[in-house]
Structure 1
Amino acid sequence: MAKSEEQKVQKAATAAEQEGVTEQTTVMAPLSDEAVKAAVEAEKVKDTKKKKAKKKQTIYTIKLIPDDDGDTKSIRLSERVLKYGIASVAAGALLFVGAFSYSVYSTFANQNGAAEIHELREVNNIQQEQLLQLSKKANALQDELDQLTQLESDLRRMSGASPAQDDGSGDGSGLTNDGTSGQHDGQGGPYAQQPSLDNVSEALDNVAKDIEKRRASLLALQEELKAQQESMGTPGMVSLPGSLVGSTVSVTTPTGWPARGEVSSPYGLRWNGSDFHPGIDIANDMGTPIVATADGTVTTAGWNSGGYGNMVDIDHGNGITTRYGHAMQVVVSAGQHVRRGQIIAYMGSTGFSTGPHVHYEVRVNGQAVNPVSYL
């Protein structure tokens, strides 16, 4: 009992001593400036550590669980990697959508362009076909006009009337200057040329002019026949004068025929309208002389690869040139001055040709014109 009391007293004393110590330790002397700075720095370090701990990146785990109860696989991604991945996928998706849209647009644009080109080609083919049909009609009209001209010539010969003033049709078809009509049929020129709108228009204009000439010639024939009937005691009307008036022509103006023969192919559309002939073909025997139709300077003498064969071009000045194609032999040279009537070549069948003839062209300022008016 006494020991117990004694132990309690000792514990109380010990506790009192501890409290005294505690009270002594809590009473501290004032801190110096250096100690205060050190304490502040320590607090800053603690705050920095806390912020770093807060900024610690979050880790995401993606688990792949197979259907066959196999091993589960985990993929750990940091928040930064996940953000970059999502951004990359979004950018790739945008690029894909943009590329796909551009591809679709380009496809439709190309299809529309191809459709337009196809439509234009069809329209062009239709126009070419229409032009060909028109040229065939023009050629048919010219053939009918030639037949009418031949009929008029027969009537004049049978009735004893004077020949027509134009001595044949306006395009030169059927003309001859050696009395050998029907014995030669050589034709040619440059390689076959597709008729153009200008060619067909010119051919139709020539047909219209020839129709007017033929009408006037037939009216003159009518008046002449009436005059003949009147002279035989049959009432009639007085015929119209029809004499040709001669004129002086410059030596540099193409005049007359380049060779003896007959016109086997006229100027204009031919071969059922499939070719435009820029000159006239005068056919005769091989070796028939070909002469210059006016004074001038030879600009070309020799082979031509465009279908004319052996060819001679003569410049007569004032924008007028003449061309002589398909010769067997050329006897002049480029730069040589020639005179009207001088032999420049001999008739042949070289180049694009079906028989011996001379292809004769008259060009004014580079444009081929109907040579008949110069014969």
Structure 2
Amino acid sequence: MNETQTQRYQIRIEDRESHLTRIIQLSPRGLRLLAGGAAAVLVLVTAGAVLSVYTLMHSYEGAAEKRDLRDVNRIQQEQILRVSKKASALADELDSLRRSEDSLRAIVGAPPAADAEVAPTSAAPTGGAPHALTTEEVDEALEMLETRIEERRSSLDLLARTMSRSFPGAAAYISAGAPQTMPAGWPTEGYISSPYGLRFQGTEFHQGVDIAADVGTPIVATADGVVRAAGWTASGYGNMVDIDHGGGIMTRYGHASAVAVAAGQEVRRGQIIAYVGSTGYSTGPHLHYEVRVGGQPVNPASYMSQ
């Protein structure tokens, strides 16, 4: 037996508490097997750690993708909601024009106006199970409504001119054709929760009236005019609409949950411009309504009673 065959390696293990010493003797082959086993365990532990990190990163990426998809879907739904509200406002204006035209036709003894024939669109399904509208479908319905309104307005203007020629004294009845630039009536349904003037024991001057109503209640323009501001404002009014009626007269509609018009847009009396909310400095759902003359707030009550 040679020296290589008799060579041994010792591993000394000392237990300090019991003062015992254990000696493990290994041959070169046993030492190689022990080292190989330790290396294999290290490889397995490393592989497990890498797999855990990969799985964790993959789950994070999946969660991020889901959040992105939810954000995209939320934005799309908000866009569809805004367009749908505008379509609803246009439908209300169409009904108003139809009623005005029927009133004029009744004065001259003409039959009621016939509805224009409009081909069905994908945004207005005629049967089957209802489905969520896409942006394209709502846009199609919006375009259809705009076309019908223009047709109705042209028919109304033609009837108004005919009345003016046939009945010289009938100009006062042509309300739809003449501008209605003086604020009149209530801008929304509800009750006055805070009037114009001093409040909070004289510590604050309220420049308008607060009309309490449910969130989402339509707000209408109280006179014809041009929208000067529409959307969020940091002044405390939240979502707000300002309408210039000419002659130094302006109306303001504050704390809306959403607006249905844009700056620069022409609006008519009775047209939906926003929806009641509680945005800005507000303690509950209501509309803050102001009438300003020459830039100064005046009591809206006299205009609302007309």
Task: Please give the TM-score of this superposition, normalised by the length of structure 1.
Answer: 0.39
Whichever of the two has the greater Rg, that structure is 1
Query: Which protein has the bigger strand share?
Result: 2
- Give me the TM-score of the superposition, normalised by structure 2: 0.48
